Amino acid sequence: MAQVLEFKLPDLGEGLTEAEIVRWLVSVGDVVAIDQPVVEVETAKAMVEVPCLYGGVVTARFGEEGTELPVGAPLITVAVGAPETTGTAVPASGGGAKPAEPRASGGSAESSGNVLVGYGTGAPAARRRRIRPAAPAAPGAGEAGRRRPASAGSAAPAAPAPASHGTTAVAESGPVAVISPLVRKLAREHGVDLRSLTGSGPDGLILRADVERAVQRPEAPAAVAPAAPAVATVTAQAERVPLRGVRGAVADKLSRSRREIPDATCWVDADATELMAARAAMNAAGGPKISLLVLLARICTAALDRHPELNSTVDMEAREIVRLPGVNLGFAAQTDRGLVVPVVKDAHKRSAESLTAEFARLTEAARQGALTPADLTGGTFTLNNYGVFGVDGSTPIINHPEAAMLGVGRIVPKPWVHQGELAVRQVVQLSLTFDHRVCDGGTAGGFLRYVADCVEHPSVLLRTL
């Protein structure tokens, strides 16, 4: 005999608590195999295909595309076992039927041998019951059904009865529940439609105060109504955009950074003419093209080696500064889905060509919305090249829980004193925002000055390699 097992939205890792259904990959009645992806969801980090733990026939789906579900909410139910038994079980219980208790299945149920973050072959967590409010029935309908169970013909004489009172519209949907006949009379005297009111009493019961509020409500806007035409009212309505997905994650993270991190910013202008010339020489030698972002990333890793205080995080519970052993370099990337920060793991160990390849891979994945949670987490320092937007400077917000972020403005020709003479040089503004808990201004200034020296004289970097 088939068992109907409930497959819930798993914990996708990194503290994610919810996900939005982007696309269903299966329909009710489809046969799924163990570890077959059944739904594509978008988290605050990335878009992920979720594989099902069970093999069998899909008997129900929970949530339409665009619905946001919390971790642990049911996704689908799967009939595991004889398919012929499953076919008759679905209509009997309806789309929202409770499946067989998955706890009872334990190790006997057909399930995955693989483990995705947050779930796998272990016993499933205790089920949360889905509570659905019952559809309100017309008053008296249930009693009439119990009193006249005999035949359909017995219901015929009941039809003219409401018509004789002249309340056909009320009879179709039933009378509105009020606390007393006086309330109904008050509403009738003042022309208040009881069906337009939301009762404040138990179970939506309409009280005298509800009717009195409705009577008084039109008085306030009455004088204002003629002044504002209906069209103006429609156009003046504000648009409300839900903070969810990537936008919601950015809002949460930046707000937390502002609340918890006492940040400070210092900046400096640097002559990038020689760095641009060095890059042109590298690319003229053949091989993969080296981008300016890659050279800046290499400079950052060298600077962090000299100033490890900025490659750290703060553990306030233990009241400790945690200095991290390696550099996982994040870089801000603007996509159609919003701002994301892919992370280049072990950036301090990579050459310029290796950094180029990894930057290219992550940038392309960001454009396609295919970044995984692993690609977006674990950063220790962030490089933000906002010069691509045509701006010179900024005071970036630290990517919590990191301790610093380097911002790079556009490189533009400007008058600059070079070797004692005024010349037109390629100038860039660099800004460093840092957590003042991990270091003082001297350390931050030393880091930024070293970065500027490497930009102005790339040969400085060669001495530290």
Average pLDDT across the chain, whole number: 78
Q: What are the start-end ranges of the H helices in 168-207?
A: 168-173, 181-189
- Determine what percent of the chain is predicted with pLDDT higher than 70: 73
Q: Which pLDDT band, with edges at 50, 70 and 90, does 48 fall under? A: confident
Residue 429: per-residue pLDDT: 96
pTM over 0.85: no
Stronger pLDDT, 106 or 24, i.e. the higher one: 24
Q: Which long-range contacts (CB under 8 A, 24 or more apart) does 351-359 make?
A: 352/282, 352/290, 352/294, 352/295, 352/298, 353/287, 353/288, 353/290, 355/294, 355/297, 355/298, 356/288, 356/289, 356/290, 356/291, 356/294, 357/288, 359/291, 359/293, 359/294, 359/297, 359/331
Q: If you average pLDDT over residues 50-69, what whole number do you get?
A: 89
Give the model's pLDDT for residue 338.
76
Mean pLDDT lowest among 199-208, 319-328, 385-394: 199-208
Of 190, 400, 436, 457, catalytic: 436
More confident residue, 219 or 118: 219
Read off the pLDDT of residues 10-20 as tens digits, 9 standing for 90 and up: 887 656 778 88
So what's the pLDDT on residue 47?
75
CA 239 to chain centre: 19
pLDDT for 209 equals 84
pLDDT of residue 178: 66
- Give tens-digit pLDDT for 305-364: 999 999 999 999 999 999 999 999 999 888 877 788 999 999 999 999 999 999 999 999
Q: Which tokens sit at 57? A: 């026939």
Model pLDDT for residues 86-126, shown as the tens digit of each residue: 443 444 344 444 444 444 344 444 444 444 444 444 444 44
Residue 323 burial (CB count, 10 A): 14
Active site residue 436: yes
Note the pLDDT of residue 155.
Answer: 41
pLDDT at position 82? 53
Instruction: Give percent above pLDDT 90 in the chain.
Output: 41
